[in-house]
Amino acid sequence: MLACATALKALAGPGGCKRLHNGAVRSSSVTLRDVARAAQVHPGTVSRALNAETRGLVNQETAERVMRAAEDLGYRPNPIARGLKTNRSFTVGVLVPDLTNPLFPPIVRGIEDRLGAAGYTSLIANTDNDPDRERQDFEAMRARQVDGFITATARADREFVDETRGLGEPIVLVNRRLEDESLPAVTVDDQEGARLAVEHVVALGHRRVAHLGGPQAMSTGHQRHLGFRAAMAAAGLEVEDRAIRFAPAFVEDAGARVCRELLDAYPDATAIVAANDLLALGCYDVLAERGLRCPQDISVVGFNDMPFADRFDPPLTTVRIPHREIGSAAADLLLERLGEAADDAPQIRLSPTFASRGSTAPPRR
Amino acid sequence: MLACATALKALAGPGGCKRLHNGAVRSSSVTLRDVARAAQVHPGTVSRALNAETRGLVNQETAERVMRAAEDLGYRPNPIARGLKTNRSFTVGVLVPDLTNPLFPPIVRGIEDRLGAAGYTSLIANTDNDPDRERQDFEAMRARQVDGFITATARADREFVDETRGLGEPIVLVNRRLEDESLPAVTVDDQEGARLAVEHVVALGHRRVAHLGGPQAMSTGHQRHLGFRAAMAAAGLEVEDRAIRFAPAFVEDAGARVCRELLDAYPDATAIVAANDLLALGCYDVLAERGLRCPQDISVVGFNDMPFADRFDPPLTTVRIPHREIGSAAADLLLERLGEAADDAPQIRLSPTFASRGSTAPPRR
DNA sequence: TTGTACGCGTTATCAC
DNA sequence: GTGATAACGCGTACAA
């Protein structure tokens, strides 16, 4: 008996063996026509019978015969061919800055799980926040006929909007929003989150609270900054200019660098509200290098509740966001738009909660 | 002037506007034929001219004319159509148990970056270690005509091998290997890693060393166990049965549960070599709940050096593996096989290193 | 209700 | 060196 694998290799093409030695059926390349032959009908009929929406057009028992044949042969429609005809690939592009940033995996899973349940596959690309690379990924995905996009990348608004206009594919923003709210977006309520953070340290007795902000070109950085100011004002606390510094990126070393500036300019701060957990970790490093203890000497609050934040030393007090739900909500938004082109741009804001842990304590000074 | 976006929506099909008001060229759907028309040649010629491998068959200046026309029109070859003809999708399927497990993002990035550079796109699926879901993802990817697979999932060998046989697409294992080494695999040298861990604690003076092992059905769990035994023997240390327990999964709560059993059975252990960082974190929890201090009362060693392991309390001493390189090596292996079907099955073992941090110290008892 | 025929965008195999 | 033509697998008007 000729081994199936060998036969396949010899043929080096489609139409290989359909039955393995164990009797299991394997669709190496069984097409619509094969099913048609088996069911004694025309390929067109098979197409109709197998497609749920057109099944009504075909005789009940013919349909059943076809479906049984398809089942027997292990027929799997070829999405490539289907897409060529229908201009739909049932694929969506997901752009994130960096999958190794712990913020994104849960969001991506939220997206993928929801999209997968709806029969869509997601293509993931990491842009490293490089506009060129982002553009490139974008084009590559369009070339692959993705039906839509979900993006968590952060490009300057104008530029992004310009390139997005006239785009055939719907696009949903996740964990970021546009200033003019012209694109559907799912984020956490960043201002609310910042308020939770400020209220927490204020309740502990802090008065001299600093803000280690994120990039102001990103909506998260900007909104959290606004939220910080608003909450401080609401608490009747003055915010000096030197109490606020912005990191150019949401990464640890930027956080450390800017934290040094912040402490130099505002040495009597007793608490730092960071715009992001990684920035907060940068603070940890600076405090350690300056012999300051956290939380005894200075309290630190993060934002995002990244995985394992409760394992840090000290366990990070932080604003908790529903990562997974953010992803699935974005997927839902896109799914709606994939069906029928909508021209509204819902702005979904999910509520953050708060995780009080070991990096905050009442001030001693 | 009619807005382009509106026109597109009205047409609701291909062949929309090709030029935006700003003069930028956008390929809403410019095809080979459009280029052919523009360059005054036959579509076939365009195909040849644009494909690097067949370009030699076409006149130098004709080729240039075609390429310029393609450039001008912003032509992007449609991979769908190409795939239909060539039976290649330039897509590979990547299966991981769970992207939110911090071990995988760096590996996936290693894979994607390498694959992307070679013009391939990767489809990622999370199986949650559910065999049914894995099978399903596998089939879905085959249906999408992926050219090959890279999988980090852990299924029982036999089953997996059976379903893999006669598969047209090449497959590469990452971070796991088959007992019989019948499939190409890239892993770290797990036994070597376990040896590093054991030697470290032995050098610190530990004699009563316990092993919190991983699932023995997984090669990582199994190999690390073997490595532990071998290293202990090499150090002239006896390993009692009660000094070893296996967790059913590489997750924190399994680690905690089994760590309790381990400590109950072997209360005078002074060091625990865990098969994985998450299991080590489970140990942290149990030590804390029993009032034992780490490392003063008991030392703990992890495996993987997951991101932020140095931030834990205490900073986790662990075996360090080159996550990213593991991914890119796997991608390389697959890339080789995508070109020409090879029937060898290289077993690449990357060397682990060691990160000595705060969770280990000399024994006090 | 079902068969026919064509087209989606590309590549491959022929001629010329 | 280039053009014509036929596929690839599927969906879908249109005809029967």
- Integer angstrom CA distances of residue A23 from A27, A72, A73, A285: 12, 11, 12, 62
Element (H, E) at B363: none
Residue A157 confidence (pLDDT): 63
- Residue B365 has a pLDDT of 62
CB contact under 8 A, B312 and A315: no
User: How many Å apart are CA B26 and CA B19, to the nearest integer?
Assistant: 6
Strands (E), chain A: 91-96, 121-126, 148-151, 171-174, 185-188, 209-213, 244-246, 271-274, 299-304, 317-320, 347-350, 353-355
Å separating the CA of residue A64 from the C1' of nucleotide D15: 25
Question: pLDDT: is B109 or A27 the higher one?
Answer: B109
Residue appearing with tokens 């309290």: A299
Q: How many CB atoms lie within 10 A of CB B339?
A: 9
Q: What chain A residue is nearest to B144 in terms of C-alpha separation?
A: A79
Residue of A nearest to B2 (CA): A166
In the numeric block, which tokens belong to residue B118? 């070679």
Whose CA is closest to A28, among B258, B87, B312, B64? B87
The CA R_g of chain B, rounded to the nearest whole Å, is: 27
Most confidently modeled range among A120-129, A255-264, B161-170:
A255-264
pLDDT exceeds cutoff 60 at A5: no
Within 7 Å of a protein beta carbon, the nucleotides of strand D are 1-5, 7-13
Average pLDDT over residues A220-239: 97
Integer Cα distance of A198 and A209 in angstroms = 8
For the record, the structure tokens of A146 come out as 């993705």
Range among A69-78, A279-288, B33-42, B158-167 with highest mean pLDDT value: A279-288
User: For an interface test with A, which of B8, B31, B95, B144 has the most A Cβ atoms less than 10 Å from its Cβ?
Assistant: B144
Computed over every residue of chain A, the mean pLDDT equals 88
* B109:A98 CB<8 A: yes
Residue, of B255 and A168, whose pLDDT is higher: B255
Q: Which of B76, B312, B341 sits opposite A313 (nearest CB)?
A: B312
Virtual torsion, Cα A317, A323, A325, A330, nearest 10 deg: 140
The single residue listed with the structure tokens 């399903």 is B136
Question: What is the arithmetic mean of pLDDT over A273-291?
Answer: 98
Can you tell me whether residue B128 is helix, strand or coil? coil
Residues of A in contact with B100 (CB under 8 A): 105-106, 109, 307
Beta-ladder partners of B124? B94
Residues 6+ apart with CB under 8 A from A286: A256, A259, A260, A263
B57 CB less than 7 Å from any atom of strand D: yes
Question: Per-residue DSSP letters for B183-249?
Answer: S-EEEE-HHHHHHHHHHHHHHHT--SEEEEE--TTSHHHHHHHHHHHHHHHHTT----GGGEEE-SS
For residue A19, pLDDT over 80 is answered with no
pTM above 0.85, yes or no: yes
**Residue of B17, B75, B115, B124 to mutate, testing the A interface (most A Cβ within 10 Å of its Cβ):** B124
Please list, residue by residue across B106-136, b when 16 or more beta carbons sit within 10 angstroms of its beta carbon and e when fewer do: bbbbbbbbbbbeeebbbbbbbbebeeebbee
Residue of A31, A80, A127 to mutate, interface with B, max B Cβ within 10 Å: A80
B54: which nucleotide lies closest, measuring CA to C1'?
A: C11
pLDDT tens for A294-325 read 999 999 999 999 999 999 999 999 999 999 99
User: Which residue's structure tokens are 């030393």?
Assistant: A313
Interatomic separation, CA of residue B169 and C1' of nucleotide C4, rounded (Å): 36
The confidence band for A364, taking pLDDT boundaries of 50, 70 and 90, is confident
**Structural domains of chain A ordered from first start:** 2-77 (1.10.260.40), 88-188+323-350 (3.40.50.2300), 190-321 (3.40.50.2300)
Q: What is the pLDDT of residue A76?
A: 86
What pLDDT, in 10s, does the model give residues A315-358? Answer: 999 999 999 999 999 999 999 998 777 778 999 999 999 999 99
pLDDT < 70 positions in chain B:
1-28, 154-158, 161, 165-166, 365
Query: Phi, psi (5° rounding) for residue A310?
Result: -75, -5
What per-residue string of b and e applies to A274-308 under the rule 16 or more CB within 10 Å gives b? Answer: bbbbbbbbbbbbbbeeeeeebbeebbbbbbbbbbb
Q: Looking at the DSSP assignment, which residues form a beta bridge with residue A148?
A: A92
Q: Is the peptide bond before B295 cis (omega within 30 degrees of 0)?
A: yes
Give me the residue label for tokens 């400020």.
A198
Of A5, A105, A144, the CB nearest to B166: A5
What average pLDDT does range A179-206 have in this prediction?
Answer: 96
Would you call B281 and A77 a contact, using CB atoms and an 8 Å cutoff? no
Q: Which nucleotide is nearest to A78 (CA to C1')?
A: D9
